[in-house]
A and B are shown apart, each in its own frame.
Chain A
Amino acid sequence: MLLAVVPAYNEEERIACVIKKLQDHVDHIVVIDDASKDNTVKVARLAGATVLEHKINRGQGAALETGHEYARLVGAEYILHFDGDDQMHPEDIAPALAHMKEQKALVLFGSRLLDGRSTLPWFKRMILLPIGKMINFLFVRAHLSDVHNGFRLFHAQVLAVMVIEQDRMAHATEIPAKVIALNLPYVEFPIKVTYHEYGQSARGGFTILKDLLFSKFIS
């Protein structure tokens, strides 16, 4: 079973479209609503997804781990991380999964920079991504072409040994760090992202750095 884990916060306008598009590409969809103030839960349920509701907003990392816990319970074989803001394209899923199987990898990281299909805002491409890449290298010790890309595929074996502990956005650094620390085979794969909104800001980057540093002291 290929399970799509879709974290969502105030996505009532786009979540139905994401679910409808995903339905032809995955076996099951679980939306983790992170205490949205709008009708995300209702809209996602009507569109046909299983919806898990966080009563308090805990961040994207926390929502993804809730999705992982659900995947463990239902016994999903493959788990896909897919954003709820309709910026990713489900047509990338099948070739990504095929590539992952072909390469005998257990993890696949999507990348916006391996082909020219994604158009990144200038500031993000020239300033934020290179800085993010440097910080990522400090914590992850691996060269990934794209930092903080929400498109990921995992085999169930990964979920058996890896738990996401970063509640907010630092999970995007934590995941590759753990994949490398656990010596799990991984690949990168080009995916397309179409921007509706800007996404991660420079301030968000500082929060990630702070979260990563402080997490070293939490047992």
Chain B
Amino acid sequence: MIIIFQALFSIFVLFVLSTIVQKKKQGLLGKKGFLFWVVFWMIALLAVFWPESMSQLASFMGIGRGVDVVIYSALVIIFFLLFHLHIKIESIGRDITFLTREMALMDEKKNSKL
């Protein structure tokens, strides 16, 4: 059973990695983002192929089970990404405001002697 899951997960990670490389080539992903996602999926792969590695990490960190380490880490990462996304959206909002303002003033300049 675990073998089937490992095989499916490997295919999925390969697909994700190819997408990451593609995005990097297209310039949609920066150096830091590229590195973050490659390392992230490598760690995920490590956890799936060697579940004991997570148990070792768990006992090192004083957490009961390996699976708990994965859940806690996933939660922290998800919260961080949500926060990051929110900031990004706000920042894009400000760019949109800037453009909206420029357009409003440009129209006025056209219509008057400004």
Q: Which A residues form the contact surface with B (CB < 8 A)?
A: 32, 50, 52-56, 58-59, 62, 65-66, 69-70, 73-74, 165, 167, 214-215, 217-219
Question: Which B residues are CB-close (under 8 A) to A165?
Answer: 94
Does B114 lie within 8 Å of A53, measured CB to CB? no
Question: Which B residues are CB-close (under 8 A) to A52?
Answer: 104-105, 107-108
Determine the distance from Cα of A165 to Cα of B91 in the docked complex, in whole angstroms: 11
Determine the distance from Cα of A52 to Cα of B105 in the docked complex, in whole angstroms: 7
Is the interface on chain B under 10, 10 to 19, 20 to 34, or 35 or more residues?
A: 10 to 19
B113 CB, nearest partner CB in chain A, Å: 10
Beyond A52-B104, A55-B103, 4 extra complex contacts between A and B, CB < 8 Å: A55-B104, A58-B100, A70-B108, A214-B90
Determine the distance from Cα of A69 to Cα of B97 in the docked complex, in whole angstroms: 13
Question: Which B residues are CB-close (under 8 A) to A58?
Answer: 93, 96-97, 100-101
In the complex, which of the residues A62, A70, A217, A218 contacts B100, with contact meaning CB atoms closer than 8 Å? A62
Closest Cβ neighbor of B108 among chain A residues: A52
Pick 16 A–B contacts, CB within 8 A, sort by A.
Answer: A32-B104, A50-B108, A50-B112, A52-B108, A53-B107, A54-B100, A54-B101, A54-B104, A56-B96, A58-B97, A62-B97, A73-B114, A167-B94, A214-B90, A218-B87, A218-B90
Known: A50-B112, A214-B87, A218-B90. A167 touches B97 (CB 8 A): yes
Does A65 lie within 8 Å of B101, measured CB to CB? yes
Chain B CB count within 10 A is highest, among A52, A56, A58, A73, for A58
Q: Which 4 A-B pairs have the closest CB atoms?
A: A52-B104, A62-B97, A66-B101, A58-B97
Determine the distance from Cα of A50 to Cα of B104 in the docked complex, in whole angstroms: 12
Closest Cβ neighbor of A59 among chain B residues: B97
Known: A50-B112, A56-B96, A167-B97. A66 touches B90 (CB 8 A): no
B24 CB, nearest partner CB in chain A, Å: 23
In the complex, which of the residues B94, B103, B108 contacts A218, with contact meaning CB atoms closer than 8 Å? B94
Closest Cβ neighbor of A32 among chain B residues: B104
Closest Cβ neighbor of B86 among chain A residues: A214
Determine the distance from Cα of A165 to Cα of B100 in the docked complex, in whole angstroms: 14
A219 CB, nearest partner CB in chain B, Å: 8
Hey, what's the 0/1 contact readout for B76-114 against A, CB within 8 Å counting as 1? 000000000011001101101100110111011000101
Question: Which A residues are CB-close (under 8 A) to B91?
Answer: 218-219
Determine the distance from Cα of A217 to Cα of B89 in the docked complex, in whole angstroms: 12
Question: Which A residues are CB-close (under 8 A) to B103?
Answer: 55
Question: Which B residues are CB-close (under 8 A) to A219?
Answer: 91
Determine the distance from Cα of A218 to Cα of B94 in the docked complex, in whole angstroms: 10
Closest Cβ neighbor of A62 among chain B residues: B97
Question: Which B residues are CB-close (under 8 A) to A56?
Answer: 96, 100
A45 CB, nearest partner CB in chain B, Å: 10
